[in-house]
Structure 1
Amino acid sequence: MNYILGVGLGIIGLSIIFALLYKKSVIDKKIEELKNMEDEQLKGQIKAKEIIKNAESEALIVKKDIELKAKEIAYQIKEEAEKEIKASKNEILQKELRITRKEENIDNKLEKIEQKTLELEKQEEVLEEKLQEIENLKLKEEEELEKISGLSKNEAKELLISKLKDSLTHETAMVIKDYEARLEETKEDMAKRIISTAIGKAASEYVVDSTVSVVNLPNDEMKGRIIGREGRNIRTIESLTGVDVIIDDTPEAVVLSSYDGVKREVARRAIDKLISDGRIHPGKIEELVNKARKEIEKDIIDTGEQAILEVGVQGLHPEIVKTLGKLKYRTSYGQNVLVHSIEVAKLCGVLAAELGCNVKLAKRAGLLHDIGKVLDHETESSHAIIGGEFLRKFGEKEEVINAVMAHHNEVEKKTVEAVLVQAADAVSASRPGSRRETLSAYLKRLASLEEIANSFKGVESSYAIQAGREMRIIVNPETISDDEAIIMAREMAKKIEDTMQYPGQIKVTILRETRATEYAR
């Protein structure tokens, strides 16, 4: 309040000073005019005195008016300030009243809550008494039931669980049967359509290679020249190429044996060149072996580039292309691995297109899925893991690496394309004529299938038929029910999947039959 009053008085004082200064300037001007008047000097002085006197009177009047106005303004400011203070006090009083009422309400609610708490405690005591009565009644009823039924509580429980288990087994079997029936209606047709389309679009020749190469000779005399004096020529060939040169009674032929197809091809070309040249001695052998090795290296690169062009894959590291070309000289169960890889890539592309997946990624993974077979003799690990590590070294995509490493279930599949690579690999490997399987491996697979089947309780006999593509199992009808047979077939198929490696699929059929036989005499 004092601050506002001081500001008002300051404004009034400045106004008075401004008015006095203004009057003084007017008076000074008039005095100067009087001084300039020479003829009327005396008269001017008198007038000047009068003017000064009048100016002073006017100034006093103006001063009084200004003071009155300042007082009025100060009074108004004071009144407004007092009104604001009064309003603030009223508002504070109202807030205090509201707070007081709320506190009273809260106190009332707390009293009610305490009353309800006491009531609940009483009700809880009553409920506990009731629960105890119910428990006593339950024990009495159980004792009466045991007397009536002649069974103890545990015996009745076991009987109930047994009946419930039978019921659940039946319901589980029915659900599985219904689900499989509905699934069979669609999955077979869809899978056959997709796979047949893929195989039809990606059909390739039947290519079966072996681990030996035969070099034809112009005559049997050439065998002696290849052997050389005291066997020095043949030893040189074997040491430089790393293959076994077999010279037997086969007319006009030399057999080269090695699991490394590149080394075997180097030896074959070198011997062909030696026969054409006619000069066979250690120096010439070394020269022609080196020449053949350079030709093979160029051929490997050309083969790798041709493969990626055929499949339509781009952006591969030169070292990957070179390693891919070496697959031309690698076989698996007699199947050329490069031809198999190209076929898998094409199948993957078609399957991915049918399912709406990434076609380029599927082709890339399919082409590279067996690249580890070139390197598996250098490291003691599976070719899938070796291939994935090799591709990672040269910056290949993680999706491709996962598909390569997972195509034999050694790591978890992270993409749909990884599943397609595994499916395409199985199709390419299992089609008729694609691979050559030894008799011992075939018999071992059949024995493993029958061993898995016989490990299940209730199996009387088992037979692997259709070259191991189907299992027929006969079960004891008194031990195994129809519902349990359905569940057993599913569990047996799952165990075969988890414990065996095989191309294609294996069908599991369980036969349960009850016969009654009597003789009339």
Structure 2
Amino acid sequence: MESSLLVSIILGIVGLAAGVIAGKFIFAKNTQSRIDEADKQAQKILNDAKTNAETIKREKQLEAKERFVQLKAEHDKEVLQRNQKLSESENRIRQKEQALDQKTAGLDKQSKENDAIKENLNKQIEVVNHKRSELEKHQEEHIRRLEKIAALTADEAKAQLIESLKNEAQTQALSLQQEIIDEAKQKANKEARKIIIQTIQRTAAEQTIENAITVFNLETDEIKGQIIGREGRNIRAIEAATGVDLIVDDTPEAIVLSSFDPLRREIARLSLQRLVTDGRIHPARIEEVVEKTRKQIEEQVMEIGERTVIELGIHGLHKELVRIVGKMRFRSSYGQNLLMHSREVANLCSIMASELGMNPKLAKRAGLLHDIGKVPDEETELSHALLGARLAEKYGENPAVVNAIGAHHDEMEMQYVISPIVQACDAISGARPGARREIMQQYLQRIKDLENLAMGYTGVEKAYAIQAGRELRVIVEADKISDGDSDKLSFEIAQKIQTEMTYPGQIKVTVIREKRAVNVAR
């Protein structure tokens, strides 16, 4: 009994030990498999990291190559620009050298001519001396005869002889003086013609004739419908805001902007470009874009003026005069662009002043500013020459420049030497074949008079002459003009145009009255 119990205990202990050993073996086996799995995951992570590192490395290398190519292109562009500037500088230096050579040759020629004149005068002096000796001999003979025949005293004979010689000498002196004066005038006219011809030849003439239309290109004809809008409200809003007539016809992918004022056409073109790009085209958006475009044009005008004075080498010009110079880019005189005309006159004045030994910078300044009275901010009864002189004096310009501006159409007395130079250069620029068209200027003046006539009525906010002057659109203030007054105003304007103006065909007067209620939700 006891032995069997002991055996059972021993067997139990052996079984327990076997179970423990088996458990440890299974645990060790599971642990080993986890370690192997962890090694595989670690190896996989390492491989993925290497793969990502290679990918990133290749991307960075590509970026570095692209950056290198971009920097190289920028460097090449900068080098090309520098080379172009150097080439332009060399051309300018070469032109100056040629001008100096021509001037030196002219001085040499003038010196030779002066020597010839001097030699001629010496010969004339010799002739005078020879005649004087003959007169002395004649005087002696005359005295002897007088003493013998007339029995005159020596003093009386001397007085009579002196009077006779005095009259003869005066006659010969006046004759000689007139010959010298005629020769000097002939030479002066010849030299003046030579200076003017050389000045014209050394200035590149730019012929720019302004048109009354601008073509606005479209990507597709579908955009025309958006620009016209429902029942034409969009196109009416554009025309009312800009004062430009929009012609939408069968021309593929194009709209024609028609107006006598280049500044209005430019505002309309830029506004249309913004509206088409944005895609939102409705009356409120149109007015907002037009207003922003006007401000942008003002900045552009200032930029054009600054660039012009820098290119011409004019310093110390008042900012308001710089702005007026920029405005000349959008004005024309008898069809000739006003800024191009003023720049040409400035260059002509500078060259002519240099030829005459005067201050070329002052002459160039007067030439650039001589037509600033043609772009006034407000309408005035003064002529453009007198108005320009007043503006130049107001902004502290040199008195010689002020006088040259006011006298270039003989409306002021010329007090400085540069005044006739500016007048002559203005005539040279305007008289070139094809430079000006008087018919266009008359047409533009008629359009301006048409708009000014409508603006003279009370309650009129804006007035635009469109369709080449065949229609006058008048926008009135709704608070001051009623619907009934609009009909009356349209009739009165039409009657005044009919009685005071000369025009071909007929002019349609359209009065637009629009009431708007605007509130802001905050």
Q: Please give the range of the TM-score, normalised by the shorter of the 2 chains.
A: 0.3 to 0.5
TM-score (norm 1): 0.47
